[in-house]
Chains A and B, each alone.
Chain A
């Protein structure tokens, strides 16, 4: 009995501590990795040897895509995998790799077939990176699969994990407005992504990704869908201040960004 009471006491104290910490973080609990959300294994546990090497290679491709997977990235594209999959593919609600890995193979309406993860990764290169699909047997795909596999170690397979994918916002109360979106963009986004959506560089290297224009994702990419972009922005932007825009602001600014010029959808070019 006393043991139970002590437990209960400890639990209450822990709960109080946690809630005060949450408040001090001044962010919502859902965007953080906690007990409810799957935590991928730490880097320190990547094993030595060939498998670990492949995982580490995958991470390099992931964070410096233009450098380590040059030939599959569009000539002018300035994105990396990490541009959208934050925290090296680990952050909940920014399409984390651990959430994706366990959901493949799966049916996708985008191409009306059951996709394997390697086919999904090819899509990323073709659309978000505005480049060409690396062959499934290429070192690029092998390394990225290994990296995703490693990151989902211990996650249940075939389950929609909390924090997987992007958040699905309820339909906007008012039709998304480019006019309002432009104002939100200027106030909250331009600091990092630039007034013309060009992103920002440091000593010649891209730091903040371009959100429209030739360096950005093309019109075939998932984020060219306003609902997806709004969900991404809502939970992740501005960096470190996720969930600080209202749903409406997220819809508006997503509509504004996706109304700007960007490379064409390669599927439509091919048909011509």
Chain B
């Protein structure tokens, strides 16, 4: 706690000292927060908080994912994959182009450490889809060689660091969009194509049900390394 306060003071001193801290001058964490808040200062740079919020809660109405507390390595990897064009991200591809390696490390660190409450999705969940989604999430659809989602994303969808993100409490628009992107669009950053195969074998209703189920859960509240 004391440490937090102290670093908070140090940070405000730093920010007060220079309106736009340069990447080298501050700690990785402070620089990450700065990018999240104001961008990295290069022309046309966008602040992450425009869509992901400063606390990483995301924006359910537009399907911007919650990223608070995702594993640091996962966040960094996904940004790099968007840069490399392997992860389909029509919005993110423009936003992350001018992030340097250190910028990526900084925002990944920052967002892996912040906390955000679960934000409500637009519209009410459909109970029948939620229960269908729960079955797939916890039992799988082995007749189609689909393991239970929680076998890789962890019990309750809490994630298995470093590369399996938590999906519990993620917004439903984002989840469905990613399943579609894996199945039909150019999201190709999943290790060994695991998610592509699974997303393709799900029916449209099953994809919806799974998204509905995980978005109905609370996100993990403990820190993930």
Chain A contacts to B: CB under 8 angstroms = 24-27, 31-34, 43, 86-88, 90-91, 188, 191-192, 200-203, 205, 207-208, 238-242
Q: Which residues of B contact A32 (CB under 8 A)?
A: 142-145
Q: How close is A26's CB to chain B, nearest CB, in angstroms?
A: 6
Contact status B198-A191, CB under 8 Å:
no
Contact status A208-B160, CB under 8 Å:
yes
Contact status B194-A200, CB under 8 Å:
no
* Interface residue stretch chosen among B28-36, B108-116, B151-159, B169-177: B151-159
B201: contacting residue among A25, A43, A238, CB under 8 A: A25
Q: How close is B194's CB to chain A, nearest CB, in angstroms?
A: 6
Contact status A25-B192, CB under 8 Å:
no
Contact status B194-A203, CB under 8 Å:
no
Minimum CB distance partner of B157 in chain A: A202
Contact status A202-B155, CB under 8 Å:
yes
> What's the Cα separation between A91 and B154 when bound, in Å?
20
Contact status A239-B147, CB under 8 Å:
yes
Q: Which residues of A contact B201 (CB under 8 A)?
A: 24-26
Q: Which residues of B contact A24 (CB under 8 A)?
A: 200-201
Q: How close is A184's CB to chain B, nearest CB, in angstroms?
A: 12
Q: Which residues of A contact B220 (CB under 8 A)?
A: 203
Q: Which residues of B contact A34 (CB under 8 A)?
A: 143
Q: Which residues of A contact B224 (CB under 8 A)?
A: 203
Contact status B222-A26, CB under 8 Å:
no
Contact status B155-A240, CB under 8 Å:
no
Contact status A240-B147, CB under 8 Å:
yes
Contact status A202-B158, CB under 8 Å:
yes
Contact status A240-B198, CB under 8 Å:
yes
Q: Which residues of A contact B197 (CB under 8 A)?
A: 26-27, 240-241
A90: contacting residue among B142, B164, B194, CB under 8 A: B142
Tell me the B118-154 residues at the A interface (CB within 8 Å).
Answer: 139-140, 142-147, 151-152, 154
B17 within 8 A of A: no
Q: How close is A13's CB to chain B, nearest CB, in angstroms?
A: 20
CB pairs A–B below 8 angstroms (17 shown): A25-B144, A27-B145, A32-B145, A33-B142, A33-B143, A86-B147, A191-B163, A192-B152, A200-B160, A202-B154, A203-B154, A203-B220, A207-B152, A239-B194, A240-B198, A241-B193, A242-B145
